Chains A and B, each alone.
Chain A
Amino acid sequence: MNDTHKPPLLEVKNLRIEFPTRHGTLTPVHDVSFSVDAGEVLGVVGESGAGKSMTGSAIIGLLEPPGRIAGGEIRLNGERIDNLGPAALSRVRGRKIGMVFQDPLTSLNPLFTVGQQLVQTIRAHCDISEKASRQRAIELLDGVGIPAPQRRIDQYPHQFSGGMRQRVVIALSLCAEPSLVIADEPTTALDVSIQAQIIDVLKRMCREHGASVILITHDMGVIAETADRVAVMYAGKIVEIGPVRTLVKQASHPYTQGLMGSIPVVGRKRERLVQIEGAMPRLSDIPTGCAFHPRCPQAFDTCRRETPVLMPAQASSTACWLYREGHNG
């Protein structure tokens, strides 16, 4: 839990993202609040349409227009970063917050060598000479596990395999020594045997460079191995947030319980997987009250009328009326 002496590195309060379309305004992210401490790994997990990628993009200021932040605030080290102009934002992006995207093929510019891209980024944010930047780039490549970095630094992205490219992208995100790295589905496009390698590299490098990580993914296995805390998102809201062990073994929110139960695990033999009926609602059609109530096996009257907020439940915080003070059953 939060160390009350040190303020959190990143604080997101009541974030709201709106997306005007011709059918009306959609709200992909609806009142999301969480914080990330220095040195911790926060997992953000959810299915497609839950709003997790949008949250990540909003934090680093890369929301695709016409999407825009319509409410709430994002504070990095106490200072607001959601209302910055483009010049100030470009100083934050890269320098204070780094990003690792999903597709290593399109994350690197095919026209420049790996070294050129690294050096460009380093020099854009840090005031050091070309030679020193190149040295730093070589060290980074070595750190992420690229063999013979002095030779490979002058190669083009197409000369690297998928897993190696993702390592380069991790190096790129860390080269300006940010305090926070946002990784959006970093292993989804990779082979299974490489996923573990990349997760190890990400975790180790961030620990060595003192960066916290927000790991956005739909893969609970990756979260279970990497994250300290995890936030589960559903229909634009966080429905549960807490330590990873707790959420995996004893989730409080019915959605989290259903989610954990529907994931097959090698060695765990079951006749049927836990099935949550229905599907995540479309953004234009979010139910009133608790967005999950139509699919929830434990829904009752209040769930249909009032939208729950995060409240303490056992070892985590849950947005569920089952855990309201004084509610029984």
Chain B
Amino acid sequence: MAETNVSGNNVPAHMEFRDLSKYFDVSPPYLTRLLRREGRSLLKAVDDLNLSIPRGSTFSLVGESGCGKSTVARLAVGLYRPTHGQIAYDGKPMAYRRERNTGQRRVQMIFQDPFASLNPRWRVRDIVAEPIRAYRFLDTRAAIEKRVGELLEQVNLTAKDGAKYPHEFSGGQRQRISIARALASNPEFLVCDEPTSALDVSVQAQILNLMKDLQKELGLTYLFISHDLAVVDHVSDYVGVMYLGRLVETGRVDTIFGSPRHPYTRLLLQAIPNMEMGNKERTALRGEVPSPITPPSGCHFHPRCPWANERCRSQAPALLETPDSRKVRCHAVEEGRLDELPIRKAAQSGQVIDGPLEFSSSIAA
């Protein structure tokens, strides 16, 4: 289906998610359910996701815990099978694990935890050589060793580091080894699952700069998963904001972060502690992210949303396109209520309140 993708033109996307859903069965064992007279519980980790990622760009998925972005990452790379819908890579559906063909093998992943993503018992050179051996790119030992050396140099390590074990390296260096391993498989598309979340800020800067350089050098497309909006703002061309399995807003990153429309995006951007803004007056994002197993009815965000009304409680909004090339999933935006209804000015205490919202008559700046 040639729908207009995020970039607004009809260029075929590098990767597309079409009505993608992934549900997990988290029911307790049969006997327990029988005794408690419960039905099955289904965790809708990803619900009806529609996205397209242009070639050569960086598309970020941002959201908090339980929003499903990690699941999307694993679906994209073929580690999970979708429950409904499909992932189209270069127009063809993505296969599962071993069934991936040569083209699909060019989608690789970089993981979050630099300590768990490398086998502690393998030497670095074997770790980096694994894709080369698995995909049979080279067959002589000498050729493989040479290539491993080149890859290590490409991520600013040395060829001699190949003989060492992962525990001899720092977090940032291990992440570089992970990147070298991903590069060893000649990728076109890299899924990066929170690659810098576990790193110190100065190391993060090194890794992000490296990733940008590699993207330019090798013409890679990135699907970047993160919870850190500042990092996302720095690296991405496009962004998708997720909440409890659904995409709530997506578009160019300057548009979305510059003038956010969805209430969640707006409140989230305000809520992050920010170096520039300092002691600012903020509207509290009240409550906490609900459990994804029993999400709120209708629009998942309605219990925390200052603009929620009856329709939001009962009917889930659809993802609609706005004139400025973004897509938003919100009744208030659709009905044009967003700018009219005043934002409830939060109590100074930032208190967690369970009861119904009361709207004040004053209008927040």
Interface residues of A (CB under 8 A from B): 47-48, 145-148, 161-164, 191-197, 199-201, 204, 218-222, 224-226, 244-245, 248, 258-260, 262-276, 279-280
Contacts and interface: CB of A to CB of B under 8 A. Distances in A.
Interface residues of B, number: 50
Contact of B65 (A47, A191, A195, A220): A191
- 6 nearest A-B pairs in the assembled complex, by CB-CB distance: A262-B205, A221-B273, A47-B200, A264-B234, A273-B205, A264-B230
A145 B348 CA distance: 11
Contacts of A200: 284, 349-350
A192 B64 CA distance: 7
Nearest to B208: A273
Nearest to B270: A196
B268 A201 contact: no
A56 B123 CA distance: 37
B285 interface: yes
A140 to B, nearest CB: 13
Contacts of B343: none
Given A201-B350, A258-B202, A275-B209, A266 B230 contact: yes
Given A163-B288, A267-B258, A248 B212 contact: no
B214 interface: no
Contacts of B280: 225
A226 B267 CA distance: 19
A222 B229 CA distance: 14
B7 to A, nearest CB: 19
Contact of B273 (A222, A248, A274): A222
B273 A219 contact: yes
B349 A145 contact: yes
B289 A191 contact: yes
Interface in B254-309: 257-258, 267-269, 271-280, 282, 284-285, 288-289
A47 B269 CA distance: 25
Given A275-B205, A279-B173, 18 more contacts: A48-B171, A145-B352, A147-B351, A148-B354, A161-B288, A162-B288, A191-B288, A193-B268, A194-B288, A195-B272, A196-B284, A220-B201, A221-B275, A244-B278, A264-B208, A265-B274, A265-B276, A266-B257
B293 to A, nearest CB: 14
Contact of B352 (A164, A219, A248, A264): A164
Contact of B271 (A48, A196, A265, A272): A196
B43 interface: no
20 contacts: A147-B351, A191-B64, A192-B272, A193-B289, A194-B288, A196-B272, A200-B350, A218-B200, A224-B275, A225-B274, A245-B278, A262-B202, A264-B208, A264-B233, A265-B275, A266-B257, A273-B209, A275-B202, A275-B209, A276-B202
B203 interface: yes
Contacts, number: 148
Given A259-B202, A265-B276, A272 B352 contact: no
A204 B288 contact: no
B353 interface: yes
Contacts of B228: 192, 264
Contacts of B322: none
B204 interface: yes
Contact of A146 (B268, B277, B352): B352
Given A193-B267, A200-B350, A279-B172, A48 B230 contact: no
Contacts of B276: 224, 265, 267-268
Contact of A193 (B64, B170, B212, B257): B64
Contact of B212 (A48, A204, A222, A272): A272
Given A147-B354, A221-B272, A265-B274, A48 B200 contact: yes
Contacts of B231: 264
A37 B234 CA distance: 38
B206 interface: yes
A265 to B, nearest CB: 6
B227 interface: yes
A266 B352 contact: no
Contacts of A268: 276
A24 B352 CA distance: 51
A295 to B, nearest CB: 9
A289 B233 CA distance: 38
A192 B271 contact: yes
B230 A265 contact: yes
Contacts of A164: 288, 352
A207 to B, nearest CB: 12
Nearest to A200: B350
A288 B353 CA distance: 55
Given A192-B64, A194-B288, A199-B273, A272 B170 contact: no
B228 to A, nearest CB: 8
A273 B233 CA distance: 12
Contacts of A275: 202, 205-206, 209
A262 B201 contact: yes
A270 B273 contact: no
B301 to A, nearest CB: 11
Given A264-B233, A279-B172, A195 B202 contact: no
Nearest to A167: B352
Contacts of A274: 205
